[in-house]
Amino acid sequence: MVKNVLSCINKYPFVILLFLLTACNSAEKQPENLVEYQLVNPLIIDTVYVNEYVADIHSLQNVEIRARVKGYLEAIYVDEGKHVKAGQKLFSISCNRYKEELLKAKAFLKSAIAEAKSSELELKNIRLLVDKNVVSIGKLEIGQSNLDAANARVEVAKSNESSAVLNLSLTDIRAPFDGIINRIPNKTGSLINEETLLTTLSNNKEVFAYFNVSEREYLDIASKKGAAQKTEVSLVLANNTIYPIKGTIETVEGEFDKTTGNIAFRARFSNPDELLKNGSSGKIQLKAELKNALIIPQKSTFEIQDKIYVFVVDKNNIAQMRLVKPRLRLRFLYVIASGLKPDDRIVYEGIQQIKDGDKIISELVLLRDKIAAESK
């Protein structure tokens, strides 16, 4: 037997050498290095977050200035974008026609008054004649009727005069309150009809911001202090800067919109520099409190077909996919509505390299420390 082995070695030396080298390499081969993953438990915290709502901004007062009488635009005393005071003259419409109508009305009034005085004197004479039985009592009744008719014509003439005075005054258009003049579409010499728009006037010392809130959010706001009113809010302008003055919610509409399920809030903002204008837009920022919120990092989640998943690691270090339902999103965190418990262990980061059912090496770390480090 030994002679046969030695004979084989002498006959096939290179084959035997290759076999021995292969055996040695297999013995020296090291196991692959496994990646270690950090695990965290979901964290329960009390926090404050900010909801944003699209807002429409309206001036405290914004009215259309329209002509009340017909005529040519005779003069424009203001310019677009300029401040005006209450009672300041803005426009004049040609008034010759209305002056003539006033003169006619005055003349008719004088005539009516003279006619009434004549009827009154005639009635006195008839009374004297009736007392002396010169004329019948019927003449007295006719005289009284004539006087009543003359007095009625006096009242009509007075009314016509008042109307003429009013029409003449309406040829001068004045500002109803302090404000800023907006676009003036008609120029001097334009023919103006009744109800023609001359300009709009805005009082921007304060503004209203209207925004819509869902029913659930409305109930959260209303229950915080027993009422939605007097809650302080911030305004984000169109250029994403924060308006420096905070506003206050002062009223809520009386019913929900049936099509959207929302209800409208109105917040008031002081606007001393008149930076905010009627018709501008922005976003209302409203703070809300969360009690005992269960949070996890967004980096610990992944999405499949619009659903959010995490890898939960069991006591045997097996990673398993689990569906979770976020309640809301906070910066780099999710507030979880369902799917996790505080003692669950989830993979903190590196989830792209894990498959469902993989066995991993893990180390449990504190989520609070990770959040503090990322917030710096």
* pLDDT at residue 24, rounded to an integer: 45
- Of 117, 203, 198, whose CA–CA distance to 153 is shortest? 117
Structure confidence by residue, pLDDT tens digits, 162-194: 999 999 999 999 999 999 999 999 999 999 999
Q: 335 near 295, Cβ under 8 Å?
A: yes
Mean pLDDT of 41-52: 89
For domain 96-169, say whether CATH 1.10.287.470 is its number.
Answer: yes
Cβ-based neighbour number of residue 153 at 10 Å: 18
CA–CA separation, 105 and 364 (whole Å): 98
Instruction: Quickly list DSSP for 324-353.
Output: EEEEEEETTEEEEEES--TT--EE-S-GGG
Q: Exposed e or buried b for every residue in 226-252, given b needs 16+ CB within 10 A?
A: eebeebebbbbeeeeeebeeebebeeb
The CATH class that applies to domain 37-48+292-375 reads mainly beta
Asked whether residue 16 carries a pLDDT value surpassing 50, the answer given is no
* pLDDT at residue 34, rounded to an integer: 62
Mean pLDDT of 367-373: 85
- Of 315, 334, 318, 314, whose CA–CA distance to 326 is shortest? 334
* pLDDT at residue 3, rounded to an integer: 44
* pLDDT at residue 139, rounded to an integer: 80
- Of 174, 186, 168, 167, whose CA–CA distance to 91 is shortest? 174
What DSSP character marks residue 225?
S
| 74 backbone dihedrals φ, ψ, rounded to 5° | -85, -35
- Domain regions of the chain by residue span: 37-48+292-375, 51-59+201-290, 68-90+174-195, 96-169
Average pLDDT, the chain: 86
Q: 175 near 86, Cβ under 8 Å?
A: yes
CATH H-level superfamily of 51-59+201-290: Efflux pump adaptor protein, beta barrel domain (2.40.30.170)
Looking at the chain, the number of H-run helices and the number of E-run strands are 6, 19
Structure confidence by residue, pLDDT tens digits, 232-254: 899 999 999 999 999 999 888 88
Question: pLDDT class for 228, splitting at 50, 70, 90?
Answer: low
Asked whether residue 225 carries a pLDDT value surpassing 80, the answer given is no
Pairing mode, if any, of strands 36-40 and 361-364?
A: parallel
CA–CA separation, 302 and 310 (whole Å): 6
Question: Can you read off the two tokens belonging to residue 335?
Answer: 């507030």
* pLDDT at residue 289, rounded to an integer: 81
Structure confidence by residue, pLDDT tens digits, 254-278: 899 888 989 999 999 999 999 999 9
Residue with more model confidence, 236 or 126: 236
CA angle 90, 95, 98 (to 5 degrees): 130
